[in-house]
Copies of this chain bind each other. A is one copy, B any other.
Amino acid sequence: MTNPLDVVAIGNALVDVLAHSDDEFLTARGIEKGSMRLINAQQAEELYGQMGPGVECSGGSAANTVAGIASLGGKAGFIGKVAGDQLGKIFKHDITALGVEFNSAPTFDTSPTGRCLVFVTPDAQRTMQTFLGSAGEVSPADVDAGLIQRAQVTYFEGYLFDAPPAKQAYLKAAEIAHAAGKKVSLTLSDKFCVDRHRAEFKDLVHGHIDVLFANELEIIALYETGGFDEAVAAVRGKCDIAVLTRSEKGALIVTPEQTIEVKAQPVAKVEDTTGAGDLFAAGFLYGYTHGKPLAECGRIAAICAAEIISHVGARPDTNLAELVART
């Protein structure tokens, strides 16, 4: 096959607007710290008006993951929807500047480009209020079969499950990938997202997913268990590999036969946890598509996650390939 890809991702094409905030700002507005909530255009306008000065940078969970894979030297593609506005131009520029293949044509007849208002509190946690805009309009028609067939792994973000046509796009992409003998991967994205779509997520995980990413809260939410150990037992064997992240406690790689512990990499100062899960997935999938043993996939993943939380913003500030080589 010409131009093989390591990973193609389908996800929300979003521009992040990052600002510092205090806890009171969030509680006064009934916003749960650490969560992602969808807001409409008017809410986004109002909240932005109350927000402090911001910094804009391309984001989107799965888009951050393919940005990380490109920074590691991998070959990646992205499927998502931007509008023909300035934020859409910024998103397209940033992802293609990294070498990621992104062919989606900007839409002029739909919502403006989506954005995610990210509040970074003094404890370095991020709380996200997302106006999906054009990002939420991904549908089966956007699934480029050729791109999927060229990729070893097709990767989905759970967040997109909030947009019904996107669910259909996932199922279509998963079928194309499996028919071509390729792998399919999913991140559960967010505990609240799991709460909203538990039954469908379970169907997806158990029937279509080879590599699952979830953090502790998300996997507990998926199986509604009392603790992490029961959730690990519940997911084992449901997919080839479950990668379960636990922040500073590291991660577990769970396969039907084994459990591999991954240590978190040391970080001098955690500045902003935005993108930690996205970059963990980037590192893991880079290793996975380059034939590394699972423990090494986990080590690369932990290095990438440590880099991203040591600065504000969810895309790497440094060349990850060089960073991994010297760690």
Give Cα A56 to B315, complex, Å.
13
Min Cβ gap A269→B in Å is 12
Question: Number of A residues contacting the other chain (C-beta, 8 Å)?
Answer: 23
Chain B residues contacting A97 (CB-CB under 8 Å) are 51-54
Number of copies: 2
Enumerate chain B residues within 8 angstroms of A54, measured Cβ to Cβ: 57, 90, 93-94, 97
In angstroms, Cα B94 to Cα A86, docked, is 17
Q: Which residues of B contact A56 (CB under 8 A)?
A: 55-57, 90
Q: Could you give, for residues 179-200 of chain A, a 1 whenever the CB lies within 8 Å of some chain B CB and a 0 otherwise?
A: 0000000000000000000000
A49 interfacial by beta-carbon distance below 8 Å: yes
List residues of chain B with CB within 8 A of the CB of A57: 53-56
Chain B residue nearest to A85 (CB atoms) is B86
Chain B nearest CB from A223 CB (Å) reads 37
Assess whether A287 is interfacial by the CB under 8 Å rule: no
Task: Check if A93 sits within 8 Å of B48, measured CB to CB.
Answer: yes
Q: How far is the CA of A97 from the CA of B17 in the complex (A)?
A: 14
Secondary structure type dominating chain A contacts: mixed
Expressed in whole angstroms, the Cα–Cα distance for A86 and B57 within the complex equals: 14
User: Min CB distance, A317 to chain B, in Å?
Assistant: 8
Contacts of A313 in B (CB 8 A): 55
Chain A positions 10 through 53: 1 when the CB is less than 8 Å from some CB of chain B, otherwise 0: 00000000000000000000000000000000000000110111
- Please, which residue of chain B has its CB at the minimum distance from the CB of A94? B53
* CB nearest to A318 among chain B residues: B20
Check A87 for interface membership: any CB of B closer than 8 A. yes
A98 touches which of B53, B93, B98 (Cβ 8 Å) = B53
Q: A87 contacts which chain B residues (CB < 8 A)?
A: 86
User: In the complex, which residues of chain B have a beta carbon less than 8 angstroms from the beta carbon of A49?
Assistant: 93
Task: Say if the beta carbon of A67 comes within 8 Å of chain B.
Answer: yes
The 3 closest A-B pairs by CB, nearest first: A56-B56, A53-B94, A86-B86
5 additional A-B residue pairs with CB within 8 Å, beyond A49-B93, A53-B58, A85-B85: A53-B94, A53-B97, A54-B57, A54-B97, A86-B86
